[in-house]
A and B are shown apart, each in its own frame.
Chain A
């Protein structure tokens, strides 16, 4: 199984991820994109920004990909997280899985984003339209 993980400040490229996954020549590709949401409850977001413990984040994402590969029959996995400012509607994270059949691709992708959110050392800061900012993450989920 091939794995590609990265943390980068540049905008994330769906095309590059797709090309990497398509090279597996499987029958299904599942991609999840986490994007900056405009409205949360009553609060309006101007943008998000992200900070990472880069070297450790890459290692943790690699470990997650290995775990996913042990649980599902998949061919390639890509996980890319963006740092710095992520404007509304842009992706902060892309998770992609290629497999021979669609079931494992969907399931592994779900697992990967759920696990990334609880274990990878990246932090999100909300920049609200009213000018206030707020680091997210008051407590550990697990």
Chain B
């Protein structure tokens, strides 16, 4: 199945892109997705401990099972306001 990964701010700058699609097996959790991405991208690996995940604009726990078409956002600590 395919999910879209969205990144912002420092992670977007470090990766040089704001979004891309990932093919993942059915049943992949957000934790597993982050793990796969960490192994591929040093920028994600370095931030792994402070990354939180949102799926379709909602905060999710790391054991959230992803579905085809999900918009997955990897979020670094927020600093709005």
Contacts and interface: CB of A to CB of B under 8 A. Distances in A.
Interface residues of B, number: 19
Given A121-B8, A139-B50, A140-B52, A53 B80 contact: no
Given A53-B8, A53-B75, A120 B54 contact: no
Contact residues of A: prevailing secondary structure: mixed
A139 B49 CA distance: 9
A7 to B, nearest CB: 10
A45 interface: no
A137 B53 CA distance: 16
B6 interface: yes
Nearest to A116: B81
A119 interface: yes
A123 interface: yes
B44 interface: no
Interface of B: 6, 8-10, 12-13, 50, 52, 54, 57-58, 73, 75-81
Given A52-B80, A123-B78, A140-B52, 12 more contacts: A53-B54, A56-B54, A92-B80, A113-B81, A116-B80, A121-B54, A124-B81, A135-B79, A137-B9, A138-B50, A140-B78, A141-B77
